[in-house]
Structure formats: structure tokens, C-alpha cells
Structure 1
């Protein structure tokens, strides 16, 4: 089936110019003509090398105006790209399978803000690509902000070079205490059974060990310690360092040891705590540099998880239904 010049790049008001050439972030693609879903799938397969190149250049592609109307359509889009599926073993967010390779996005209360993070940066086996699909657009709020990770690294290194040097040397250690069952009141509220996809403690320990994670069983819960893991990574394709960690999403104070806390804590790999002013600056520059494009029904967003952090703004007016798929 011929696809011709099926994709065209368009502009939306929220995009921001990046770098010396002012290339817009993210890339936004629309169809050149009205088309059927089968043609869209075939165009993805035929033009996948160009789409991947664009993704690696820009960090995010937003597909807008394409005939994607259901979770099944979204699953077919993901499969058309042909990226291997990334398992969610060790993942902290409550999620539910919808169909095929498609899951709900984080199921914590939609009025809760989720800070910027790289997906599963707290384990060594993280996805490299993320797909999001707007099944039902929000009445107001509920956007998925995105920000380029190398920009955050450059600003952090300029403002806090000594801390960044220590971060590069020691990495980060993630800690949390969880119990058996999921708690959807928190965006990191998965219990150990669903985190490690088993109700057997020995199996959980083996799966945790493969993720450089240590489990300590407690009377009413489980202490989970992962790392230290690299918090600054080098993007070989673009020859630059990236701020590849979830520091903004974690508490930087000592753990309180409560099972019902459902929070994640982070410290430097040598045990030092992250200074409060460093954490505050991180949050501020992420908000300053991010791009926030309101969702429209049918939108598909493809994110390079190695280059881009994402977040979630509080939903101000329901409804909202965003689905996700993780890829290696």
C-alpha cells in the first residue's frame, strides 16, 4: 500500500524552540490528507526509520489528527512500530492492563500532581520509549508536561556544579516501605505483590535481585532499597549528558519507616542527603523549561525516555482517560 508523503509537521502554540537552530520541541505530526486507520498503520511501518530519526532528534513526537479512536487502535499503533515490549516488573505506579500491550496510565487520584521523572529510572531495566494515548480528553487540566533532560543537566551543572559532581560520582539510592496490596491514593503506591508480579516471597526476592534491589521483610511491610544507580547518563547519539533520575519525584529527607507512607525516598549513593535548595531549584527549572500541550482526543505521544522527563498536571475538570505502553 503506498503511503507517499503521509506525515506533515505542524506547529502548535505551546512548542518551544531548542538549541542554536531553534528546532521546535516537541515534533508535532499530522496527516497530509484525511485517511483510514489502515493507511496510518502502513505509513508507520514504511516510514519507521524516519520516525525513529525524528524521535531521536526531538525527543518527543505528538501524532495529532490521526484516526486513532480506541484502545485497540492504540495497540495496533504500538505494534506497527515493532518495538519490543518492556515489562513493568519493579514498577511503582498502580496500573491495569486494558488490551494487548496497553495499560492505564498512573491510576493515582487524577487531582494529584505527578512530578517530572524518567519512566522507571529507579531500576536498571527501564523502557527506552513510551507511548501515551488520549482516549478521552480532559475537561480542564490533566496535561502531560514534557522537558528535555539534557537542558536540566546543563542548568543544574551551572547552578550546582559541586552537587552534580557528587551525583555523577555516587549515583542515587531509592528507598521505600510497602505492604502487600496496591494503594491507588499514591502515584508510587504499588504493593510488593504487584510490583514483582508474584505472591511468593522467594520469587519476589529473585526478581528484585535482578533489578539491583534488596528486600528486607518487616512485620507489617517490606523495605525496598535499589541502587545506587547512575543519575547522570550520556546520550551517545547526541553526545551530551542527561539528567536521568527521579530525584524530583522522591522525598529527600530521612525515611520515617511507616508502612502506610507510600512515598519513595532518595539519597546519594554514599548516604548523603540531597540539600533542600538543590531540590527546590530542580523543581523550579523543570517548570520553567517544560512544554505543556493540552490533550486532544485521539492524540498519540511517543516519548524517548532516554532524552525526556514527563509529569502529570492535576485534573481540574473530568473526564480524562490516558493510556500507556512501555517499550524497550
Structure 2
């Protein structure tokens, strides 16, 4: 979509746009008259997309508007954020994720997209056995969270901000509701282990299998002073991913992704069930706002 349209356009065409998003997985709006975080929020409300709190996410972020707009992952600009489905390491990931460019970087900083239907097909081509294991066993994620948000880490969100709480008893109630196992560590750090979650799902529109998980992100990106990525994700049966095979899959995947460079005012909608996203390193200021949503009804 190109050219200014205003909120009224999204009120009138919201249902059709949402259906197109479910089919294609991603929609880019350029020069459409969205000029602020408030405009961005108004568009999402107009369609409408049901607001969802960022509960259980790992990325350090700041709230921008009172209700739904926040910053995208604020990890250091020289780091690449690997491909992932937003919050796929939780029991209830969002159905949609949206981005808005408030400040474009001088160079780099593209958002990388990869259709998870194509990702499953590629993995099945590279190693049918691993694809079958992921489908039948699912995966489990392990993460250690700091007591205070660590902006130097792409998964440095504190346990208070992760679970939107202030005290350990409050955090334990949330974790129990999410089916997590946990252990309090020295320095008030928190180790969590997810229940076994599906790694392969079915797209009801196309009938194709999707590589819906946070496996790439965990394996390649959950590295900091507290975590080691290759030990952060396991098959449901307890085995770690075979490194050589998975690296081969990642090398092939890198040739099939699409990079979306940002211009000020751009708005990118993703069906989180269909499309993974990543961030390329960048130079200069870059301010991307984001929001997540559930399927209404």
C-alpha cells in the first residue's frame, strides 16, 4: 500500500486487509499518513486488532503509549536479532505483530522476513528426521532472567518486566499459570523452563505446515552472561538439536529471506503465525515501534 489514506481507510477496509494478511503473511504500508505512535495505535484500534499485553517476552523494551505501543527490541545496534515468531516460547503467543518506523537508521537495520511455511519445507528438505522429531516431540525452552533488565542482552528483560510483576510471589503465580518450572538463583536471577510446546503447526488457510517456534532465536541468539543458546532449546524428548544439521538449515534459510529496509512512516503488519522476523545490525538512530494482538473473537 502506498500513499496517504488516514485512519478512515482502515476503518472501512479493515476486514479485507486482515483477510489479505492471513493469506500473504505480511503487508507493508508506505507513505500512508501514519506519522506518530498515536496514529499507529489509532490504526490498529480502527481495524480492529485486539490488544495483547507483552507478557512473557524476553526482549528489553519501553512503553510508548499508555495502552499498546512499545519499542521494538532495544538490544545493541551492532547485534543481529535472529529469526523468530514473537513469543513462540510461551503458551499464548500473539497472532499478529505490527511495526512502525518513527526514525530510520543511517544504514542497515532492515527487518528480515521468512515465511514459516517455506521454512518447514526447507527443513524437511535438509533433514526429514529432524523435521519429524520437531513435529512429534515439540520443544522446550530454558532461560535465565536477570533481576534488573540488561540492555546489553537481546533477551535481557528482567523477570519483573517479563511477567509484569513486582514481587517473587507474584512472579510465581504467573509462572504457575504459564506452566513454567522455575528456580531462583543467586542475585535474584530466575531460571525458567517451559512446558513442551509445539514446534510445527498447521496453517488453516493454506493447509501447509509451519515452522512455528523460537528455535532459531534460542539456538543462535539466546547468548549472554547467563545463557548459552545451543543449550536453551531441547526437543521434547530431552535431546539437544544436532548442531551440524541445524547450521545447514540456517545457511540455506539465509538465502531465502526477504529484507525490508525502513523509511520514516512505514508500517509493517505480520501474521505472527505465518512469518518469522529478524533485525539486521544498523548505524545511526533507529526507532521502530511495535504492538502485538490476538485474533478477535
Normalized against structure 1, the TM-score is what? 0.84
* Alignment pair present for 1:324 and 2:285: no
Provide the rounded CA distance (Å) in 1 between the counterparts of 2:64 and 2:245: 39
Question: Is the Cα–Cα contact under 8 Å of residues 100 and 288 in structure 2 kept in the other structure?
Answer: yes
1:135 equivalent among 92, 102, 109: 102
1:97 is aligned to: 63
Question: Is the Cα–Cα contact under 8 Å of residues 41 and 68 in structure 2 kept in the other structure?
Answer: yes
Provide the rounded CA distance (Å) in 2 between the counterparts of 1:181 and 1:285: 37
2:44 is aligned to: 78
- State which structure, 1 or 2, has the greater radius of gyration over its C-alpha atoms: 1
**Cα root mean square deviation, aligned:** 1.7
Provide the rounded CA distance (Å) in 2 between the counterparts of 1:122 and 1:175: 9
1:293 equivalent among 248, 252, 260: 260
Q: Runs of 4 or more off by more than 3 Å in structure 1?
A: none
1:244 is aligned to: 212
1:161-200 maps to which residues of 2 (within 5 A)?
161-200=128-167
Provide the rounded CA distance (Å) in 2 between the counterparts of 1:163 and 1:138: 38
* Alignment pair present for 1:260 and 2:225: yes
Higher RCO (CA 8 Å, separation ≥ 6 residues):
2
Provide the rounded CA distance (Å) in 2 between the counterparts of 1:163 and 1:293: 30
Provide the rounded CA distance (Å) in 2 between the counterparts of 1:219 and 1:318: 37
1:39-50 maps to which residues of 2 (within 5 A)?
40-50=6-16
- Matched position secondary structure for 1:173: strand
Count of residues in Structure 1 that have an aligned counterpart in Structure 2: 289
Q: CA deviation at 1:64?
A: 0.6
1:118 is aligned to: 85
Per mean C-alpha deviation after superposition, the further-off stretch among 69-78 and 134-143 is 69-78
Q: What do the CA deviations read for 1:146-171 (whole angstroms, capped 9, x no partner)?
A: 01000010111122111111111111
Q: CA deviation at 1:89?
A: 1.2
Greater percentage in strand: 1
- Matched position secondary structure for 1:119: coil
Q: What do the CA deviations read for 1:90-126 (whole angstroms, capped 9, x no partner)?
A: 1111111001311000011111100000000000111
Provide the rounded CA distance (Å) in 2 between the counterparts of 1:58 and 1:47: 16
- Matched position secondary structure for 1:134: strand
Q: CA deviation at 1:278?
A: 2.4
Question: Is the Cα–Cα contact under 8 Å of residues 205 and 214 in structure 1 kept in the other structure?
Answer: no
Provide the rounded CA distance (Å) in 2 between the counterparts of 1:223 and 1:213: 10
Q: Is the alpha carbon distance of 1:266 and 1:85 closer, same or farther for their aligned partners in structure 2, counting shifts above 3 Å?
A: same
- Matched position secondary structure for 1:62: strand
Provide the rounded CA distance (Å) in 2 between the counterparts of 1:178 and 1:47: 42
1:217-232 maps to which residues of 2 (within 5 A)?
217-220=184-187, 221-232=189-200
* Alignment pair present for 1:30 and 2:2: yes
- Matched position secondary structure for 2:195: strand
Provide the rounded CA distance (Å) in 1 between the counterparts of 2:52 and 2:148: 23
Question: Is the Cα–Cα contact under 8 Å of residues 86 and 327 in structure 1 kept in the other structure?
Answer: yes
Instruction: List runs of 5+ in structure 2 lacking aligned partners.
Output: none
Provide the rounded CA distance (Å) in 1 between the counterparts of 2:249 and 2:56: 25
Instruction: List runs of 5+ in structure 1 lacking aligned partners.
Output: 1-28
